[in-house]
């Protein structure tokens, strides 16, 4: 389509736009709409152009953008302009996040407002509040089965509480991250209820079939997400007398994005939450948005087009808002969710670095960095104006989706190595102190994933239970080591609530009929605030972890080389226990940091002669930025303590 044609179409739409819009100052809106409309219309036409109601749907799309712009507060509009002028603002090293369940952290939103000092004490300035939209009390999938996309779950509070929290965070220069579940709704959602009642427009919001012919075609190529608890991808609905696509759980109905009404509804919901104060929106399950017979129904080209269209539309109404892609897929696929532009993220500015997370856990189990080094070499380079979200634990399980070729190049047999990791982290391996729980076991393939808190997986739970001081010290060292790497690797570091005070597994889920079949609840804790106060008592486990992480975060924010501009070089060394990389400042070549991590339970050495840039004139002038002290050295050899990490700088 020529640019002139898109302008002509835009003029036709604006000539029919609702008269009420003319009462408002829409200058910025029209400027952004004009700049983005060619891309918006091209994508919308590619997805929905063959439909007879295309012009009507395009009109609805523009009016939706205008209506949400009008509803956006002056304060948030001003923030949009500020971020447009500093478009790399989120690549700064100043941002450090924490993900949490509202009810587990502080019971409700009001409780969170009362604990903001806790984040500030640690140095957290990005808070990811996991799903708080209304959902059924029983079958909620931890909040990811939404029954009303525009209401807060009453157990968390209401919209006024959320807006109050968002305002408090802005006053403290802190960011709010919220979830929007894109792929599915609860079967209790109004749309699903109306579909069951026979309203044909709403039946087209979902994938429903009167017999098994089409579902069986899909099943030939679609994998099972939860084979243990939710086998298959379709559920028979007695009321409707139809099969419904339910990829995740039988009570989560997949949305039909081949229907433009669904797209506009979900875009409207994203913008609604942006207007409540969300700085970043985490888009859940984005890999599953487009369904196609004969495929896995994951990572389809149309799913990327949907995300591009959502981003272009958001640029018109709320350009200061970022997207996180929740796509836990192979490395070669995950970078596509940034978009395929050479520089700018055309889909989502942020993506989960699940590969790095899983590789870190491999290094913990093996006590070496062979697969970690190999896997990082295979990690595709991100776009310049996009960033990774680096994490150790989250609300979900740990998957072992390493590339088989990388496993072989690291010297392991893929199937045996995955079996070892499962055994290690579930405490079945002889030398393991881990107390993880298997999740999603597939009896057909023997595969499984791993649940468990950080403290329990690294052996802290075991060590405290038996009173082994050396084992406690080792576990704390590993916790600090892992955090030092997500803070230095490049991207947005995201801590998981409870990890900062060594919270161990919560076994109470086994007594809850709703939760007992989902082992992920073992690492979704309720914070014991009396225990959390121990972070201020020297010598306690809580103090030792919290104080060291607090130092790491503070130092991280001061090192300009840790901003994320593709300014990281992996350094290959002879010692297999070490993971080494260099961070550097693009404009100041002398401003650089050498990160050396030792995954072994014994001290290891690194000969700086292997690193020409660091070996020549700096003997005696290297300083560990974390401690402010010189590293242990003998001649030109640096000694790295057991489970230790250096951030070396030059003085």
Active site residues: 284, 326
Give the closest residue to 608 by CA, choosing from 589, 594, 629: 594
Give the closest residue to 520 by CA, choosing from 155, 104, 134, 97: 104
**Radius of gyration, alpha carbons of the chain:** 25
- The span from the CA of 116 to the CA of 168, in Å, is 8
- The span from the CA of 125 to the CA of 163, in Å, is 17
What lies within 8 Å, CB to CB, of 276 at 6+ separation is: 159, 162, 163, 166, 178
Give the closest residue to 439 by CA, choosing from 237, 105, 142, 235: 142
Give the closest residue to 596 by CA, choosing from 639, 651, 548, 549: 639
CA angle 256, 259, 263 (to 5 degrees): 85
Contact (Cβ atoms closer than 8 angstroms) between residue 399 and residue 328: yes
Helices (H) and strands (E) in the chain, counts: 24, 25
For residue 649, the SS3 value is strand
- The span from the CA of 401 to the CA of 391, in Å, is 16
Contact (Cβ atoms closer than 8 angstroms) between residue 359 and residue 378: no
| Residue 471 CA: distances (Å) to CA of 459, 460, 477 | 7, 7, 10
Q: Read out DSSP for 457-508?
A: HTTHHHHHHHT-HHHHHHHHHHHHHHHHHHHHSSSEEEEETTGGGT----GG
Tokens 């696509």 belong to: 245
List beta partners, residue 594. Answer: 582, 648
- The span from the CA of 143 to the CA of 149, in Å, is 11
Q: Which two tokens stand for residue 162?
A: 């959320």
- The span from the CA of 227 to the CA of 431, in Å, is 30
CA angle 157, 163, 164 (to 5 degrees): 80
- The span from the CA of 118 to the CA of 101, in Å, is 15
Contact (Cβ atoms closer than 8 angstroms) between residue 553 and residue 345: no
């Amino acid at each position: 389509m020529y640019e002139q044609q898109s302008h002509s179409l835009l003029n036709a739409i604006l000539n029919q736009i609702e008269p009420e819009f003319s009462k408002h100052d829409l200058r910025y809106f029209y400027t952004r709409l004009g700049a983005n409309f060619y891309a918006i219309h091209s994508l919308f036409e590619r997805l929905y152009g063959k439909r007879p109601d295309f012009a009507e749907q395009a009109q609805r799309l523009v009016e939706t953008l205008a209506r949400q712009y009008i509803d956006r507060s002056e304060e948030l509009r001003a923030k949009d302009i500020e971020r447009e002028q500093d478009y790399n603002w989120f690549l700064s090293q100043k941002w450090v996040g924490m993900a949490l369940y509202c009810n587990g952290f502080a019971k409700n939103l009001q409780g969170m407002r009362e604990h903001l000092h806790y984040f500030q004490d640690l140095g957290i300035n990005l808070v990811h509040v996991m799903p708080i939209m209304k959902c059924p009390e029983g079958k909620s999938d931890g909040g990811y089965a939404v029954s009303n996309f525009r209401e807060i779950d009453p157990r968390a509070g209401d919209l006024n509480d959320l807006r109050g929290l968002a305002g408090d965070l802005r006053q403290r220069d802190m960011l709010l991250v919220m979830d929007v579940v894109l792929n599915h709704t609860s079967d209790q959602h109004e749309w699903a209820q109306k579909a069951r009642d026979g309203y044909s427009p709403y039946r087209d919001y979902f994938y429903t079939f009167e017999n098994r012919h089409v579902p069986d075609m899909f099943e030939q190529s679609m994998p099972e997400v939860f084979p243990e608890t939710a086998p298959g991808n379709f559920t028979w609905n007695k009321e409707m007398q139809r099969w419904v696509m339910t990829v995740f759980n039988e009570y989560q109905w997949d949305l039909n994005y081949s229907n433009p009404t669904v797209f506009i509804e979900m875009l409207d919901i994203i913008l609604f939450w942006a207007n409540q104060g969300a700085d970043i929106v985490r888009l859940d399950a984005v890999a599953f948005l487009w369904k196609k017979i004969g495929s896995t129904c994951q990572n389809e080209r149309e799913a990327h087009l949907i995300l591009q269209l959502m981003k272009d539309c958001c640029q018109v109404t709320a350009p200061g808002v970022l997207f996180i892609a929740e796509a836990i897929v192979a490395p070669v696929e995950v970078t596509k969710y940034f978009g395929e532009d050479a520089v700018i993220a055309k889909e989502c500015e942020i993506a989960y670095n699940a590969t790095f997370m899983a590789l870190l856990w491999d290094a913990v189990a093996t006590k070496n960095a062979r697969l970690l080094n190999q896997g990082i070499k295979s990690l595709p380079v991100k776009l310049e104006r996009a960033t990774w979200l680096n994490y150790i634990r989250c609300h979900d399980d740990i998957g072992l989706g390493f590339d088989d070729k990388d496993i072989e190049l690291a010297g392991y047999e893929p199937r045996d190595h995955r079996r070892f990791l499962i055994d290690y982290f579930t405490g079945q391996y002889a030398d393991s102190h881990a107390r993880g729980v298997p999740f999603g076991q597939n009896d057909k393939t023997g595969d499984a994933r791993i649940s468990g808190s950080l403290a329990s997986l690294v052996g802290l739970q075991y060590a405290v239970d038996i009173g082994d001081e050396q084992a406690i010290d080792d576990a704390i060292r590993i916790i600090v080591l892992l955090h030092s790497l997500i803070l230095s690797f490049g991207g947005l570091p995201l801590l998981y609530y409870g990890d900062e005070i060594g919270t161990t597994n919560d076994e109470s889920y086994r007594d809850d009929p709703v939760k007992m079949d989902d082992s992920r609840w073992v690492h979704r804790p309720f914070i014991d605030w009396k225990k959390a106060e121990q972070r201020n008592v020297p010598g306690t486990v809580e103090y030792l972890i919290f104080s060291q992480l607090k130092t790491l975060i503070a130092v991280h924010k001061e090192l300009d080389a840790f901003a994320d501009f593709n300014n990281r070089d992996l350094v290959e060394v002879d010692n297999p226990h070490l993971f080494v990389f260099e961070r550097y400042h693009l404009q100041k070549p002398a401003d650089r940091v050498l990160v050396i991590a030792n995954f072994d339970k014994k001290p290891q050495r690194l000969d700086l002669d292997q690193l020409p840039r660091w070996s020549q004139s700096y003997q005696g002038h290297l300083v560990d930025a974390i401690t402010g002290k010189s590293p242990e050295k003998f001649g030109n050899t640096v000694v790295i303590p057991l489970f230790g990490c250096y951030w070396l700088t030059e003085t």
